[in-house]
Amino acid sequence: MVFGAIWMVAGCVPNDQSSNQTETAQEIAVDYELGDEQVHAFWSGNIDPILTVPSGSVIKVATQEASAKQLDMNSTVEDLGNLSFDPIHPLTGPVYVEGAEPGDVLKVTLHEVEMGDWGWTAIIPGFGFLADEFDEPWLKTFELGKDRKTAKFSENIEIPLKPFPGVMGVAPDTEDSLSTIPPRANGGNMDDPNMTEGSTIYFPVFVEGALFSIGDTHAAQGHGEVCGTAIEAPMNIIYEVEVIKNGRAISEPQYETEDYYAVTAFAETIDEASKKATRYMIDYLEEEKGLRRNEAYALCSLAGDLKTAEVVDVPHMLVSMHIPKSIFKD
């Protein structure tokens, strides 16, 4: 479906805004729109696209919250006992991007991330970083809305809201149906709260058309997502896709804001994911900044920030490394 609507969005605003920074609004034309009923809940190169677009297209999508509408604002802890994991992480897509081929990079810019009117978080027995210590179900729902700035956790606790998609990715090169639970080389359940409005994410392309999908939207989440859930909420997202050919090859998603460039790495342990992320950043500094490998390694130690994105989505964990752009004077 083609739409000619004009949407006001923030123009590449850094994630960590200081008080003297202001958002510069710009007009952007939305070329296509997808509803939240056009979803899938697994990864495969065999899923037929629901939309085909040229490179450079701007798409507005609606996303469901992570339970795929099994929960609502009035749900109780008893409803967790009936929760099925089969439809978990309904992803809006996939979108076929013309010209994308294996070996290319798909650039996805998140122009706008708008919250729905409610959200939930839960402790689900058997799931979470401390699953063996917390075996009682627990559920909390939240009143949200597109203009809401905080969520009320309790009478004296307000959580700042920073909406973002927990799952984004391109299709893997397999005919198998892969779970959306862990992060992978194609992206997937990265749960990185820095991949929010104004950021640009780069995905290695594994199949023709890339087949990009997005969902599992979160209103707020700490690094690690240790209990296994964020504030899970439906959202509307405006994003732009662009195919990059003959550029720098990447093995796993990378991203940037106005403030920093970041690499991501998944592995079955934090140690191995951290080592991979460090190597990826060294590669970036060599190829893009002209540093020798030993210089790049030392710079990662002096200015690189390792961050744990999430630790709960077995068998993989995700770590990122950020390097500030302000240190480069050219």
Per residue in 121-131, pLDDT tens? Answer: 999 999 999 99
State yes or no: pLDDT of 22 exceeds 80: no
Closest CA to 142 of 232, 215, 82: 232
Domains and CATH numbers, the chain: 6-253 (2.60.120.580)
Q: Give pLDDT, residue 18.
A: 37
Please state the rounded mean pLDDT for residues 58-73.
98
pLDDT above 50: residue 21: no
SS3 for 319? strand
pLDDT at 16: 40
Directed axis angle between helix 293-303 and helix 270-289, to 10°?
120
Look up residue 38 and give its DSSP letter. S
Residues near 3 by beta carbon (within 8 Å), at least 6 away in sequence: 30, 31, 32, 33, 60
Residue 27 scores a pLDDT above 80: no
Task: Say what the alpha-carbon torsion angle 72, 77, 79, 82 is, to the nearest 10 degrees.
Answer: 130
pLDDT in tens, 139-183: 999 999 999 999 999 999 999 999 999 999 999 999 999 999 999
Instruction: Name the percent of the chain lying above pLDDT 90.
Output: 91
Q: State whether residue 78 is helix, strand or coil.
A: helix
Q: Report pLDDT for 3.
A: 35
For 302, list phi and psi in degrees, rounded to 5: -85, -35
pLDDT value for 10 = 34
Mean pLDDT value across residues 55-83: 97
For residue 4 the two structure tokens come to 């000619």
The pLDDT assigned to 259 comes to 98
Residue in this structure with the two tokens 């198998």, named with its chain if needed: 176
* Angle subtended at Cα 295 by Cα 290 and Cα 301, rounded to the nearest 5 degrees: 120
- Split at pLDDT 50, 70, 90, the class of 28 is confident
Q: Which two tokens stand for residue 103?
A: 């070996």
The stretch 252-262 carries a mean pLDDT of: 98
Please give the Cα distance from 60 to 70 (Å, whole number): 24
Name the average pLDDT for the chain. Answer: 92
The pair of structure tokens assigned to 160 is 């700042």
Answer whether 209's CB lies under 8 Å from 86's CB: no
Give the model's pLDDT for residue 317. Answer: 96
* Number of Cα atoms under 13 Å in the Cβ half of residue 205: 28
What's the CA gap between 223 and 309, in Å, rounded? Answer: 5
**pLDDT more than 70, % of the chain:** 92
Structure tokens at 289: 């900044």
Handedness of CA 184, 188, 189, 195 (dihedral sign): positive
